Amino acid sequence: MKNWTHGFLLGSSYYPEQWDASMWEAEFVKMRELGHNAVRMGEFAWAFFEPSAGVFEFDWMERAIELAARYGVQTILCTPTASVPPWLFQDHPEVLGGNEKGAFRYGARKGYCTNSPRMLEAADRIVDAMGQRFGDNPHIVGWQLDNEPGFPFVCYDPRCLSAFRIWLRERYQTLGSLNDAWGAAFWSHRYTDWDQIDFPFNVGDGAWNPGQKLDYRRFFSDSFIRYLGRQGERLRPYIGDRFVCTNWPDTSWSVDLYQAAGILDVTAWDNYSRPPGLVEWQDQLHGGMHHDIARCAGPNGRFLVAEQSAQTPAHADSKGIHLQTWTDVAHGALGAIFFEWRPPLGGAEQGYISVLQLDGSFGPAYDQHKRLGAELARLGGELADAVTDADIAMLFDYENQWAQGFRVGPDGYDAEFVRWYKGLKSLGRSIDIVKPGSDLSRYRLVAAPGLRIVSEETASLLKQYVQDGGTLLLNVQSGAYDPTGKLRPLMPPGIFADIAGLVTPASVAKRSMTGNLLQGPTDQGIGVKFGVRFADGASFSPETVMEGVELRGAESIAFFTGARMEGRPAITVNRVGSGSVFYVATDSRDGGFYDALARECGGRLGIEPLCAAPPGVEAVSRRTSDWRYLFLLNHTDHRQEVSLPSPAVELLSERRVEGALVMESFDVAVLKWKA
């Protein structure tokens, strides 16, 4: 993998087209003052690059790039397709798609239809022109395609409907296969012509067929990957080995990032996790989870933070900026770009809090930015080749995320995934988050919460992993669905019932869940308080579901309490071959439940933390063949002591440390040992 710049890309987003050209140079001087070596430009500049169809003006950007380079700042150049210029919409309104309310109107951003021939044509033209003009510019370090693609989450225009029908035909070949996959016998939906397939966004009664809904999301994801891939393909002939990325706003997303990584050189994402000091420290682990997905999505085991907050509010410690950036590094980032350099005066994001203030002066986090610049200039190179070496993994699956209710709040797949992640983080080790079907042999423990849809192939791999000594964690409804989104004609947990050693003939859904998994006569139980009790007496409140488990070989290690559920299994373990399968028949809103679950599994497996860090101090490791790096991140607002396993060099302070390491609030330490 190419190490694209001075070890670590540090910079911000800048929009020269919003400012008088006479101001530019002074900005780059200030960037150098902070130790920035990168700037992201060009995003949203389409109307300035191409003021009318086929007429290009690139001189201004070339000048900006050169000015930046004069002060040691390299450019990440963006294709500007995320916001179409007024003239393009005027000429071809179809470049924008639509939603259930109708066609999109002009006046904000995005909404372009990835299946509109006119849009693709226009995107080709601007991308080609940029490639020709800037492809070999020596000051460009990499390219970003579009901006935060995959939003809005639907496009229901006629172009997408046609494309969806073609996509379905390619997927299913025959209508018989499609009818079978969708269970179309239900409600008389037996399609006899591909053109009968519609987007059912305003129906008389009922929801989308779940098979169709899942296929729509697959199609949507594929559409964006194809759209971005096309931009990448057109650029590559011009840009040599410069990297190509896009900036995903989130890893729980409408596009499958694992799959999208196939057309990119690095997975980048916009880290708007709340900065330290503003949320409970547990919530700060959230950003790390996205980092772990981005890193494992690859390619190349690295990721980029493409946007990140540049200031903290008045009542927060600006050390948060420092800590958040080092959290990026700890999880394997190759760069971090702050959003944004200077607050725009007008437009929908006017006054956005930036590195500079409205009057061009540095903001309150100046010291932290300067410190980061210096530290990363010194250490970025050394850390660039260190890789993450996790022995715990989670399986993140976009199809299950979509099928279980995409973006539905705390009951959704992704929210539950986050709760599991935080629980496993209490084991004090690094975590990989990989896609189902990955090679799991290096992991001692693999958690697959929400793996309801699973193919036979993936299920076989997981069974083999367990047979060979692995430990697998499953939960509610795991394995019950096949890849079409249909239920298997098996007692849940379906294809996993044998390795879980149980079936779940009935369940209690305390509240209605998204989708139809637990439909039926349910309620709150007339004031009964239900619980889940662990062997050590710790007790937690179940949230959305309690399955009525029947053991078929498994052993129960936690039990439900309350009314008719009293004493029934809530968490079980089943010995399979050399390994074991844990099954969790419920969920909770209480983080302690997931910590207890992790403690239970970790204890049985003898998993030890990387170092004896107190709660609130995150420990993450990276290594090269020669060196081992331990990042300690104090996410709390108070002093903490960490007991070190052995003397080490602390890289930020450049001191040798041993015994108890004292960390002030929001402090970072990077320890280094011989491997």
Of residues 335 through 364, those in contact with a second copy by CB under 8 A are 343-353, 357-361, 363-364
Q: Are 209 and 182 in contact (CB under 8 A)?
A: yes
Active-site hit among 148, 543, 618, 650 = 148
Catalytic residue status for 382: no
Residue 155 neighbours by CB under 8 Å, 6+ apart: 97, 98, 99, 111, 113, 114, 115, 220, 223
Residue 321 vs 473, nearer CB to a second copy: 321
Q: Does 58 bind a second copy (CB under 8 A)?
A: no
Tokens 């239920």 — which residue?
487
Closest contact distance (angstroms) between CB of 422 and a second copy is 17
Please identify, using beta-carbon distances, which residue of 189 and 672 lies nearer to a second copy. 189
Residues 296-325 that bind a second copy (CB under 8 A): 309, 311-317
Regarding 190 and contact with a second copy (CB under 8 A), the answer is yes
Binding segment for a second copy (CB under 8 A), chosen from 101-109, 369-377, 413-421, 655-663, is 101-109
Site for a second copy in 422-481 (CB under 8 A): 480
CB contact set of 553 (below 8 Å; sequence gap of 6+): 501, 502, 574
Question: In the range 204-263, which residues lie near a second copy by CB under 8 A?
Answer: 204-212
Give me Rg for the CA atoms of the chain.
26
- In the complex, the smallest distance separating the C-beta of residue 112 from a second copy, rounded to whole angstroms, is 7
- The dihedral region occupied by 537, where left means phi > 0, alpha psi between -120 and 50, and beta the remainder, is left
Nearer to a second copy, 78 or 671 (CB): 78
Q: Tokens in use for 629? A: 């790096």
Structure tokens at 2: 């190419």
Round to the nearest angstrom and report the end-to-end CA distance of the chain. 22
Judged by CB under 8 A, does residue 18 bind a second copy? yes
What angle do the packed helices 24-34 and 366-383 form, to 10 degrees? 70
CA atoms within 13 A on the CB side of 80: 24
Counting every residue written for the chain, the total comes to 675
Does residue 492 belong to the site contacting a second copy (CB under 8 A)?
yes
Pairing of strands 542-551, 243-245: unpaired
340 is a catalytic site residue: no
CB 108 within 8 A of CB 150: no
Q: Which of 157, 141, 140 is closest to 98 using CA atoms?
A: 157
Interacting residues with a second copy between 501 and 530 (CB under 8 A): 505-509, 516-526, 528, 530
Of 117 and 360, which CB lies nearer to a second copy in the complex structure? 360
Q: In angstroms, what CA-CA distances link 176 with 151, 163, 194, 217?
A: 32, 20, 11, 21
Cα separation, 510 vs 498, whole angstroms: 27
- Our finding on whether 489 is near a second copy (CB under 8 A) is yes
Tell me whether residue 183 or residue 577 sits nearer to a second copy (CB atom).
Answer: 183
Give the shortest CB-414-to-a second copy separation in angstroms. Answer: 20
Taking contact as CB under 8 A, which single stretch among the options 182-190, 218-226, 390-398, 643-651 is the one that binds a second copy? 182-190
Give the strand pairing for 247-248 and 579-584.
Answer: unpaired
Least distance from a second copy to the Cβ atom of residue 295, Å: 23
Q: Which is nearer to a second copy, 73 or 518 (CB)?
A: 518
Q: Which stretch binds a second copy (CB under 8 A): 411-419, 463-471, 559-567, 659-667?
A: 559-567
The CB-of-7 to a second copy minimum distance in angstroms stands at 27
C-alpha to C-alpha distance for 513 and 518, rounded to whole angstroms: 7
Q: Kindly identify the residues of this chain, within the stretch 567-596, that bind a second copy according to CB under 8 A.
A: 568
Q: Which of 64, 84, 431, 433 binds a second copy (CB under 8 A)?
A: 84
Choosing from 307, 547, 600, 650, which is the catalytic residue?
A: 307
Q: How far is the CB of 45 from a second copy (least distance, A)?
A: 7
390 and 443 Cβ atoms separated by less than 8 Å: yes
Cβ-based nearer residue to a second copy, 298 or 343: 343
Q: Name the residues annotated as catalytic.
A: 148, 307
